[in-house]
Amino acid sequence: EVQLVESGGGLVAAGGSLRLSCVASGFSFNDYGIGWFRQAPGKEREGVACFASRDGSTYYSDSVKGRVTLFRNNANNTVSLQMSSLKSEDTAVYYCAADGLCSVRAGLMSDYAYWGQGTQVTVSS
């Protein structure tokens, strides 16, 4: 059974940093691409960053580019999202997802099959 468990969310002041983690079980990161999405109240879910399963390249959305870095630890089956210079508009529930399309060239994240339960990130201004 595929499971994704996020952690690391919380309340942080604007300009601060957070590191979100996603621990996966039931599959190998080598087989599935991993992505992070977020959804703010009243807004559609947005793709934030992802590893492409084919070559491990990374994609970052324009909204977070330069402020966010993806890390992968294959030994622990963990993917982390290091976020810095946080803004109030980064406030959202952040979800880890697996087995989907991550196209760095097209700037596209879609059709992820497996999802975690989400972790809340709140940035106070």
Rounded distance, CA 15 to CA 87, Å? 6
How would you class 20 by CB atoms within 10 Å of its CB: exposed for 0-12, middle for 13-18, buried for 19 or more? buried
pLDDT tens-digit map of 60-80: 999 999 999 999 988 888 999
Q: How far is Cα 22 from Cα 79, in angstroms, rounded to an integer?
A: 5
Give the torsion sign (CA, 57, 21, 65, 89). positive
Give the model confidence (pLDDT) of 3-47 as tens digits. Answer: 999 999 999 999 999 999 999 998 876 778 899 999 999 999 999
Sheet containing 3-7, strands listed edge to edge, beginning at the edge strand earlier in sequence: 3-7, 18-25, 78-83, 68-73
* Predicted confidence (pLDDT) per residue in 44-61, tens digit: 999 999 998 778 789 999
What is the CA angle 65-101-42, rounded to 5? 60
User: Quick one: which of 8, 1, 12 has its CA closest to 95?
Assistant: 8
Confidence of residue 107 (pLDDT cuts 50, 70, 90): confident
DSSP 108: E
